[in-house]
Structures are given as C-alpha cells and as structure tokens.
C-alpha cells in the first residue's frame, strides 16, 4: 500500500450505490480561476500548460479548493486535450481564446496517420496523479479523467472551439468511415490513458463528453455513445483491491438518458436541463446520478443559493438508506464552475448540500 | 378577401393534423446568406436592418428561396429582436458579431421602465407581411414569427449573444421578481406583435424560443414555458375565416417535450437532438411535429443528404392518412440553415423529402 488509508469514503460509497450519512459534493473545475490562490500559482507557472505539466504546480492547485471547502472528492488538475496533444496535434492556449491545435485532422491522410500515443508523453499526468494522491494523504478520494473520444474528435477536426461544429460534422456526414476510424483510435487512447491514471493512483475515473449533446439523435448513439462504451469496456475494474468507479458525463445528454442507462459505468453525470427525479425513475436502479446545479446559481445571494441547492436535492427525492445498493446522488454543478464565481458562495453551497442532505436522512 | 386564394395548402393542413399527399418542407432562415441573390439584395440595402425595414427588400428576399425550390411555406424576413428594438433598446448589427443593444436592461429602474411598445414603431414589419402575402399570390402560405419572451429577455439583459448567459441568469436567480416583470411585458408585446402580423396577412405564426434550452429544469417551466403560454393565450385563433396555426420551437427543448405537449398550439418544432418517433409517442396525439434535420447534413454529398432526409422521415414513422386528424410531420431543419450551405444541396433535400414522403404514403 503506497498511499494513506482513505478517511472520507462518502463519494466512493455514493458512486457504488451505497448509503451515506449525507450527499457528497464536488464541483467540476473546482480547482480553477475563480480562486485567487489558483491565479497566483498560474502566474508563477507562466501558462496553463506550464501549470498542467508541472507536477508540483498541478498538485498545489488540485488541493487548493480542499483547503477552503469541505468537498468530498478531489479531481486531477489537467486538460481534456492532453491525449490529442500527445498524438502530435500541437496544443496551445491563447489568452481569452481557449485551446487550439496547430495541426488539426481534416483529411484522410491525417486520419490514417493517427495512432494511440506513446504514454510516456503523458507521463506528466500520471506523475501528477501520484503526487496529488500522496499530498491528499487520504483526506478524500482522487478522480482521474479524460475527454470522450467524440469530444476529442471535435477539437481535433475543428482545431479549436466551435459554435456550429461544421467541420467535424461535415466529416461525420460525408466520410463516416474516417470518423469511425478516428474515434476508434481515440477510444483506445483514452482507455490506455485512464488505465494509466488508475495505476498511478486515481480512485475513480470520469469521461467528459462535453460535446456529445451537439450531435443529432442517431448520430449521438453511433459516434459518441458507442465509443464511450468502447472505452469503458477496456477500463480496469479495480486497483489495489478497491473498485474504481466510472463516471460518464454528457453535456446536453438528457434526451438520451435511457440509452446511457445501459453504459457499463456506475455513475451518470447530468447537466441542469435534466430533472433528477425523472432521471432516477428512468435509470436510478442501474446508475448513481451526479449533478446538476446551474453554475450561474452561484452568482445569486446566499439565501437563493441555499434554496436552489435544496431544490436539486429534493428533486432527486428520498435518499437511499440502510444496507445494500439503491439509487444514490452525488451533488455537483451541471457544468464547470465559472471563473467569475465569488469564492465565498462556494462555501454556502457546500454547507447547504451537507446540511440539507443530512436533514433528509433524519426526516 | 384582399389576397389571392391559396394554391398549396399542404403545410397548413399538416399543421392542423390533416392528411397530406406528401410531407411539407420549409427551412428556418431559408431566405438568407447562403443564397447569392440574397447577398446581392443585402449589398444594395447596405445593412441587415436596412434590408429588414424596407418593405420592397424584405419582400424580395422572402420570395427568393421559393423561386429556386419547391418549398411549401414562406416565412417573413425579419429579425427576432425587432420588439425590444421598438422598446427603445437600440438594436444594431456589427459585421461578423451578431446583434447588439446599446441600452441593455440590467437593473430595477430599466426593468420598471419597460413597456409594450407602440406598434406603429413596428409598422415596417406589418407592411412587409402584407406586401409579401400579395407578392406570393397564393403560391404557398406565409408564416409570421417572433422571439419568445425568454429569448428576448436573454438579449435584452446580455445586450448581445452570450455563451454562458451569466447576466440574465444572475438576474433570474437573484431577482426573480424583476425577471417575471420583464417577461410579462415581453409576453404581452409579443402577443400584440403576432396579432398585428395575423391582421396584416400571416397565415401561421411561430414563436422562436431559441434560448429556452439554456435554462435549468424548473427554471425553464417558470421563466420560458409559462410566458410562451401567456403569448399563446392572447393570440387570435383565426383570421378572414381561416384558422391561423401556432408553432412553438424551443432549441434544446427535448427534455421538456411532455410539458410542451400541453401548450395551446398546433405544432411543436424540434431540434436534431430529439427522436421524432419518441416525440410522436409522447405528444403526437396532441401536436404536429416540425423538424429536425441537423443543418450540417447539407454539407455532405447528395447521396448522404438523401439518406439522412429519409432517416428523419422514417424516424417519424407511418404518415397519417385518411379522414380526420392524426399525427403529422412538417419537415424542417433543427435550426437555421448555415450561411455556408451550397444552394444546390437544398434542392437535393427538398426533392428527397417530397419523393420519399410520397413513397411512404403508397407503401
């Protein structure tokens, strides 16, 4: 056993469908720009990739939100585009513009040249996982993550963010054979990447299908869901004697909840458009649900934040209690926290979730 | 009777749930930048608002796609932001940036100053409706439209497009009283605006809730759906002895189809994330369905466009035939057509929809 024993297993228990004394909470992008201490570290690192590729910096910023708030999990500080970067696409970040690839994948030759990258190129990520796990010292579990094969493909073809996904969808509809080939490579690369994170110490893994929701019905199942399933099929089920829960989050995935219920994972992440009660009725016997507060709620005054947190908890309904497995809830935002969020509002949210969810269990 | 008798009533019959010899098709933003003749007229007009506010230009561009394609309806050429412009918010369009308001509504004083605008300020729209209806000469019916109260509020508070809706959602969560007040004014203004379009000659009306899908579950029902319902309750049911069908389109509305099924309208517009067969099972006994091809399909070669059009028609299922009302389908895109669309690909789509939907009726 390389690592200290876990002191707070509430998140992992909820992922496994086991009863917990309260509803665990963590926040997507919880280590981020809304925290002044993060901005200081980033300034020292010089750039976003300078931060993500340096083990000490990545460890430092991952732990920052846990020093402020009683969050129930940590998540590796990294980027969803590390894998295509390691494939040789040349990732860079331009101030105020988001990520960009210098060598986007737009034709047959570029697709056919794609390979699962040498994992040594991603060593900095696995080193960060081990370093963070050690620094956590058993306080809370550590979540590893990757972008989904489809979400990676969006960036790989577009070369940057997009508001219409014209290039990647043109390839999808015109040359589905090329798209399938790219997604196969991506899926196998993501699986190897997540398995290496598990080996390095990640206690749960999450697949971010941030752009699955831009696909048409039918195309989503074929080009996003099928390749998420291909990743899941290759993942290690446990490590060091502990089960490693698998979480799949599809932004805009509410229309396909039923199909996602068949994925071989323990947890489905939902954005704020989903109704947790309805989702529980559809898939709650098969999946724990993670979500789904609108991050913009955190701009409201404390009383409204509390009221909206209570609404989300109540929409899920009565907590699972007692022995055995049942429908469980992991509280989160429906998407990443905004850089403009007042840090003291996060404290209000964490307290509201812990307090009200304990109350629900004694009611 | 001021206008020529209607020669093609396939669209209106489908809206009313009546059988038709084939599935009618029209395209959101069918009069637009992808057409070279549109770009010529716009160049003469000098600007987008120069085009929209001039009766002759607006008539000319509305008819352009009908001269090329066998579309089954025309839609008024205008903008969804004409109503807040008439409220005094100062609409302008900056090249490559989209619309902007010089006086966004961001505090209590600004909200309390909002009034249903003098409809005389929107006379140019009603004049365009009458002019277009005359120029159509009964060829196909004319659809009038407006933005939904919530969608207008998004632009009114943000002052421009947004990718996180932070300002409008901050108002919604912090000061729901102000948001409700703004939405009431918007709803009454939209109702008056659409009724005046009906008086001027619009044969169907459509409410575009382009940003309804960014709301959280719960907030959507309270802040978007309720005010769309408030508009619908005030609309004229018929004009000149003919029923005027009401269409509601919510981009990203798939999670709330069940609730939208209760709206007092004949047609629900769906984006490409919805499955038409599932939607028909949920609400097809109460609503005609309009949609929902991904506009990006039009970048693929003709054979793929035909195949995807067939998929959408087949996903709706067997057409309603015979006497009385039943579940009907109006073919459309799931959102506006892209400015980059090759015009000849639209011909392929229209032909594919007409041909395959006739085939379905003889099968």
The predicted pLDDT at position A94 comes to: 80
Q: How confident is the model at residue B1 (pLDDT cuts 50, 70, 90)?
A: low
Two structure tokens written together for B161 = 């497009």
Q: CA A327 to CA A193: how far, in whole Å?
A: 30
Two structure tokens written together for A89 = 């696409």
- Architecture category of domain A10-362 in CATH: Alpha-Beta Barrel (3.20)
Q: How confident is the model at residue A1 (pLDDT cuts 50, 70, 90)?
A: low
Q: Number of Cβ pairs closer than 8 Å across A and B?
A: 102
pLDDT score of B155 more than 60: yes
Residues of B with a Cβ under 8 Å from any A Cβ are 164-166, 169-170, 173-174, 213, 215-220, 252, 254-255, 272-275, 292-294, 296-297, 299-301, 304, 308, 311, 315, 334, 338, 340
The predicted pLDDT at position A2 comes to: 82
Select the residue of A173, A301, A340 nearest B296 (Cβ to Cβ): A173
Q: How confident is the model at residue B183 (pLDDT cuts 50, 70, 90)?
A: very high
**Residue B333 CA to chain centroid, in angstroms?**
11
Report the catalytic residues of B. Answer: 29, 33, 42, 79, 155
pLDDT tens-place string over residues B229-269: 999 999 999 999 999 999 999 999 999 999 999 999 999 99
What lies within 8 Å, CB to CB, of A182 at 6+ separation is A105, A111, A114, A153, A156, A157
CB A315 within 8 A of CB A331: no
- Return the residue in A281, A296, A312 with the most chain B beta carbons within 10 A, the one to mutate for interface testing: A296
CB B111 within 8 A of CB B182: yes
Mean pLDDT of B351-362: 97
CB B62 within 8 A of CB B132: yes
pLDDT tens-place string over residues A345-355: 999 999 999 99
Domain boundaries, chain A: 10-362
CB contact under 8 A, A308 and B338: no
From B291, which residue of chain A is nearest by alpha-carbon distance? A216
Select the residue of A173, A217, A218 nearest B304 (Cβ to Cβ): A173
From B341, which residue of chain A is nearest by alpha-carbon distance? A166
pLDDT score of B96 more than 80: no
Q: CA B292 to CA B83: how far, in whole Å?
A: 27
Mean residue pLDDT across chain A: 97
């Amino acid at each position: 056993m390389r690592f200290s024993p876990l002191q707070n297993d509430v998140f992992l228990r909820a992922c496994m469908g086991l009863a917990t004394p309260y509803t665990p909470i963590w926040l997507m992008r919880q280590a981020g720009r809304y925290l002044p201490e993060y901005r200081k570290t980033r300034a020292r690192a010089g750039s976003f990739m300078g931060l993500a590729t340096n083990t000490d910096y990545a460890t430092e910023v991952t732990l920052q939100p846990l020093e402020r708030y009683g969050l129930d999990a940590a998540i590796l500080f990294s980027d969803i585009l590390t894998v295509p970067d390691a494939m040789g696409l040349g990732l860079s970040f331009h101030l105020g513009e988001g990520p960009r690839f210098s060598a986007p994948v737009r034709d047959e030759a570029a697709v056919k040249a794609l390979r699962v990258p040498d994992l040594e190129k991603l060593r900095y990520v696995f080193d960060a996982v081990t370093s963070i796990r050690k620094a956590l010292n058993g306080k809370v579990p550590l979540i590893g993550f990757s972008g989904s094969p489809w979400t990676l493909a969006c960036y790989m073809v577009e070369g940057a963010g997009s508001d219409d996904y014209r290039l990647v969808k043109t390839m999808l509809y015109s040359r589905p054979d090329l798209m399938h080939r790219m997604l196969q490579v991506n899926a196998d690369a993501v699986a190897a990447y997540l398995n290496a994170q598990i080996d390095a110490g990640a206690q749960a893994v999450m697949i971010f299908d941030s752009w699955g929701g831009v696909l048409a019905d039918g195309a989503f199942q074929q080009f996003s869901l099928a390749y998420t399933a291909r990743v899941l099929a290759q993942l290690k089920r446990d490590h060091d004697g502990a089960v490693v829960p698998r979480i799949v989050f599809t932004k805009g995935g509410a229309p396909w909840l039923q199909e996602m219920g068949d994925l071989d994972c323990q947890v489905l992440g939902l954005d704020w458009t989903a109704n947790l009660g309805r989702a529980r009725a559809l898939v709650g016997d098969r999946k724990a649900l993670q979500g789904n507060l609108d991050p913009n709620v955190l701009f409201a005054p404390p009383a409204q934040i509390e009221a909206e947190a209570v609404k989300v908890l109540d929409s899920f309904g009565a907590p699972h209690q007692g022995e055995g497995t049942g429908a469980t809830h992991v509280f989160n935002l429906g998407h990443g926290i905004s850089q403009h969020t007042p840090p003291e509002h996060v404290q209000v949210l964490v307290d509201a979730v812990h307090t009200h969810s304990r109350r629900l269990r004694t009611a």
